[in-house]
Amino acid sequence: MSHSTLRQQLIDTALAINRYGINQGTSGNLSVRVPGGFLVTPSAIPYENCRPEDIVHMDLEGRWQGERKPSSEWRFHRDIYRSRGDAQAVLHAHPPWCTTLACLGREIPPFHYMVAVAGGTNIRCAPYATFGTQKLSDLALAALADRKACLLANHGMLCLEEDLQQALSLAIEVENLARVYAQALQIGEPALLNQEEMVRIAEKFRVYRQR
């Protein structure tokens, strides 16, 4: 797929995360892998004003050229691509329910079988670190180990997938799980599925995706 097509897809997906209520304003950021690096949304430009030429190309050393600066969170995009061969697209946003749990420092436990859609038995919450820092990137990568999504304490949500459309779908699903979990907590502590069942579900998801 050409860079110009991917640049437009990034803008379209960025507009979609706001439209779906996954993000607000310019707070989120998105990227997609290309040979030798990645394309990432620029810093501080409203998505509705973003043009394909505003999308920033970066290499895996964190270098870029051009008038636009990359998102301040470019470090965890770079580090995910450097360490995760399965990552072809990365999405970071501040969904209301994910952010609610993140502000409480709570992970999403296996209260529902769909938690396995993020690749494991839970959706971890990375400890807090200042946005845009290498420390935040390191903590996020640890929380993403063997997972496709995590929460970022007092911040938001981060996920990776095989393409932008799947990244958007995963973000929507994780936000829905966060909402239902937070609602369940208003009544009591929900029953949790055991490790054996979650492993079984994860395998069923893996086979389903292969089809």
Q: Could you list the active site residues?
A: 73
Residue 197's closest CA among 114, 106, 108? Answer: 114
Residue 77's closest CA among 15, 164, 206, 169? Answer: 164
Residue 16's closest CA among 185, 195, 204, 165? Answer: 165
Instruction: Confirm if 34 and 55 have CB atoms less than 8 A apart.
Output: no
Read off the tokens for 199: 């492993």
- Give residue for tokens 């072809």: 88
First to last CA, the chain: 23
Q: Distance between CA atoms of 152 and 147, rounded to whole angstroms?
A: 14
Q: Distance between CA atoms of 42 and 181, rounded to whole angstroms?
A: 33
Tell me the one-letter amino acid at 101: L
Q: Distance between CA atoms of 41 and 10, rounded to whole angstroms?
A: 7
Q: What is the largest CA-CA distance in the chain?
A: 52
Tell me the one-letter amino acid at 34: V
